[in-house]
Structure 1
Amino acid sequence: MISTRLASLLFCSLVLLACSSKPNQDYDTGYDFSQLHTFSGITTASNSDPLSAQRIADAIQSSLLTQGFKQADDTAQFKVNYTFNITDKPKKSGLSIGLGTGNWGSSGGVGIGTSVGVPIGNDSAKLQTIQIDMIDIKTQQLIWRGSDNFSFDTGGEDKAQLTQQTVAKILAQFPPQESLK
């Protein structure tokens, strides 16, 4: 009985883990990130959506300041560039499978159920991808890049919060911990 519950719990945990997104990162493995303490301006190459651009810039600044970096344009060691892209993403209308266990008296059992989801309303959502680059001021070389995305249906407060959360997840990997050892 306990092994069935443990197997069920393990299966559910793996499904949830597979559904969560983890930001991507790449960095210069030979760079000494421990020397970085100050950053300069946060700029974007594209500005077709001024609301999103400002939200992302504010979230980057807030995250870096929270991590202990200082903004000092005249003595900065790295600068921050970012890009973002918004695309249409079809809503899923797929098949879901569930697994459950239970017992009745002295007997136990495992059950499997399915459901089919049908999207109602708009047939697509939006997907916003954010990429953040850290550039060494002296060499003008890219030293770190992180990216992630999120889905949204409408703008406003929900999108602002998703932007903040996504930027924080990306920058939680900066500086890369492997390089600080």
Structure 2
Amino acid sequence: MKNLLIATAVLFLAACAKTPDWDYDKSADFSNYKTFSWVPNASLTKNVANYQISPLMEKRVREAVNAELEKSGMQLVDVAQADVLINYHASVDTKIDVDTFNVGYGARWNYWGMGYNTQTTTREYEVGTLILDVVDRASNQLVWRGAKEGRLQKNQSPEKRTEVIKETVANILSNFPPQSVKQ
């Protein structure tokens, strides 16, 4: 029974997962982009003080992005030969979840009045956001941005962290290059 409850909770959380957010320059010709490289000073850990964003996590993100872009036919090359440069950012925010519900209703005749009890619970949790930028190297202009946020989980194995990063990056890059929108 406990496993069923846990499985149901996991499915519910997965169903509530945020979909990625994309934005891109409609005037950019994405069919010209065949090669990529990383922005030379790109760093996931810069200006972020959170134990989950570490050089280990940075390596996982880079490997996942490289694999996804290569899967879509792009080739990792030196910065000087790249059509586009990849940059990335991460942030961690603390959010609060508040639930209020009635836990009972009662009437007392030995005292005048009726009423109900209300219970409020609060939970603090961390939400991480991963942002991937694609910059046209020739013009040095941002042509595509994708982002996804999700609730951070503590006490995960390195294998689980790698799996989550691969899924997140694949999800973000699922619209790169952007699919034409039918009006």
TM-score bucket (shorter structure): 0.5 to 0.7
1:87 to partner: Cα distance: 2.3
Which runs of 5 or more residues in structure 2 are unaligned?
1-11, 49-53, 102-118
1:51 to partner: Cα distance: 2.2
Structure 1 residue ranges (4+ consecutive) displaced by more than 6 angstroms after TM superposition: 15-18, 116-119
- Aligned match of 1:59 in 44, 58, 64? 64
1:94 to partner: Cα distance: 6.4
Which residue of the partner structure matches residue 147 of structure 1?
147
Structure 1, residues 13-44: CA drift from partner, whole Å, max 9, x if none?
xx999724211011111110011110012533
1:45 to partner: Cα distance: 6.0
Q: Percent identity?
A: 30
Partner Cα separation in structure 2 for residue 92 and residue 84 of structure 1: 26
The number of equivalent residue pairs is 142
Which residue of the partner structure matches residue 109 of structure 2?
none
Tell me the secondary structure at the aligned position of residue 177 of structure 1: coil
2:93·2:126 contact (CA, 8 Å) conserved in 1? yes
Which residue of the partner structure matches residue 164 of structure 2?
162
TM superposition score normalised by structure 1: 0.67
Partner Cα separation in structure 2 for residue 82 and residue 168 of structure 1: 14
User: Which deviates further from its counterpart, 46-55 or 57-66?
Assistant: 46-55
1:65 to partner: Cα distance: 1.0
Structure 1, residues 75-109: CA drift from partner, whole Å, max 9, x if none?
210010000012223356567xxxxxxxxxxxxxx
Please list, as runs of the form range in 1=range in 2, the aligned pairs for 1:15-164 lying within 5 A after superposition: 19-41=16-38, 43-44=42-43, 46-47=45-46, 48=48, 49-73=54-78, 74-90=80-96, 93=99, 123-154=123-154, 155-156=156-157, 157-164=159-166
Q: Which amino acid aligns with 1:170?
A: I
Partner Cα separation in structure 2 for residue 22 and residue 93 of structure 1: 24
What's the Cα RMSD here?
Answer: 2.9
Are 1:174 and 2:176 matched, yes or no?
yes
Q: Which amino acid aligns with 1:79?
A: L
Partner Cα separation in structure 2 for residue 151 and residue 17 of structure 1: 11
- Tell me: CA distance 1:151–1:20, structure 2 relative to 1, closer, same or farther (3 Å): closer
Partner Cα separation in structure 2 for residue 124 and residue 16 of structure 1: 16
Partner Cα separation in structure 1 for residue 57 and residue 14 of structure 2: 28
Partner Cα separation in structure 2 for residue 26 and residue 148 of structure 1: 12
Partner Cα separation in structure 1 for residue 152 and residue 120 of structure 2: 18
Which runs of 5 or more residues in structure 1 are unaligned?
1-14, 96-115
- Tell me: CA distance 1:177–1:94, structure 2 relative to 1, closer, same or farther (3 Å): farther
